[in-house]
Amino acid sequence: MRILWTSPHCRPDWLERLGEESQGGQTVVMNKLPHALSRIDPDIQIDIFTRLQDSDPYADTPVKQLDHDPRVRLIRLRCGPTDRYIPKEVLYGEPIAEFVGEILTFSEEHDLRYDLAHGHYADGWETVTMLKARWSHHPPALLTTHSLGKRKREDALRRGEGTAEELDERYNFPVRIASEERSLTGADRILPLSTPEAEYLRDRYEAVPPGDSRVTVIPNGIDPAQFPPPPPGAREQRRQTLGVRDDEFLLLVPSRVDPRKGQETMLRAIIEGRAGLEEHPYRLLLLAWPSPSTEYAEQLERIIAEQNLENRVITHPPVSHNEMPRFFAAADGVVLPSQEYFSIVMLEAMLLERPLIASIHGGSRDIIEDGGNGFLVDHNDVDQLTEATLRMVAMDEEARRRMGEQARQTIMEGYTWDRIGHRLLSIYREWR
């Protein structure tokens, strides 16, 4: 069975550069899940198409086996200008039309016939639904969400990130949302990452009516063997490097520095809870700090300076995916103060037994039992985030250990990549 995967903006071989140029959790999904599928079913062959960019360090090999997997290829083709990075927000329309033409040419030249086409994120959706219409055999089009334009727009407005007009200009929301509606109309299966996302699709998108049988939740996963606990002594070494004392509670926010990731909300929470937090030595680590600085990073720096938080807040540049276990080991708790559809970082933190605060509005609602294996909050509510942070910091070591163990058990029982792969293959095989 030959399967086409695509998301033009995503580069599945950039795991060491997570946090750069829109490379986040989706990059991990598009790297790890195809390998799981090929492990489970040797008859599966997956070609992942992505955008060619000349400055990409791997662009000199535009067609290659991904991580040397003989059944998973990564193929870079033109999708707009190749001489520079193009934000994903402006790929809709002509760039994706060019990309579709490149895929059609490539498949014809190499005599390839795909049994189905699986698009990830809205740019991938537009690609596969256009391909389905162009190919005479009309392969089934499957869409995995990763995020939704309408929801991102609503969340940005709620945060006060800008006016509706400013947000529409910055993120091209009208074009993206129109593209999403067209793609959803033409899809054969719609694969949201979580129950809240499935509910949102049915409530807010005209193309997905209530009771739509095409909708099936397929969450993200993790490979425990590829994300093992760090070696003994890693916690002490990393904390020493960060300048964190043994008696300080280290809170980690392991998200790229972006208004949608909630770093400002987290700063507001520790400011509001300052009196209670000061009863416990603590530090806040903001990972993936950009260089050169961005407007948002500079805004955060001003808040830190104005509130005299320099001795409480640590900023750190992006790190490779392989380095993340050491940062989790160094942390005493992890906070995701943002709307995450089904966060890979959430799974990583839970696998490594870190107490976690996450948003009730995302995939965390499917996996976290509040107060049991983590904490759930409304990520837009500073008061709730403050309260959960205070609860976590005040927990004794034994309570944190039990919460971490419950979190790991949850992952091992239902959220490894192999378990997710079996669920996805059961859908693929409907068309075999």
Q: Mean pLDDT for each 10-residue chunk of the chain (432 residues)?
A: 97 78 80 95 97 90 95 97 93 97 98 98 98 97 95 87 94 97 98 94 96 95 90 96 96 92 96 94 95 94 97 94 92 92 88 95 91 94 96 95 96 94 96 86
Q: How distant is the alpha carbon of residue 240 from its chain centre?
A: 29
DSSP class of residue 88 equals G
**What are the structure tokens assigned to 8, written together?**
């033009």
What are phi and psi for residue 351, nearest 5 degrees?
-60, -40
**What's the Cα-to-Cα distance from 180 to each of 34, 122, 147, 238, 340, rounded to whole Å?**
24, 6, 11, 43, 19
Burial environment of residue 17 by CB neighbours within 10 A (0 to 12, 13 to 18, 19 or more): middle
Domain ranges of the chain: 2-221+416-431, 225-414
Q: Which CATH number fits domain 225-414: 3.40.50.1980, 3.40.50.2000, 3.40.710.10, 3.40.640.10?
A: 3.40.50.2000
Whether 225-414 and 2-221+416-431 are alike in CATH topology: the answer is: yes
**What per-residue confidence (pLDDT) applies to 321?**
80
**What per-residue confidence (pLDDT) applies to 383?**
97
The CA R_g of the chain, rounded to the nearest whole Å, is 21
Which CATH code fits 2-221+416-431? 3.40.50.2000
Q: What is the pLDDT of residues 116-171, one digit of tens each?
A: 999 999 999 999 999 999 999 999 999 999 989 999 899 889 878 899 999 999 99
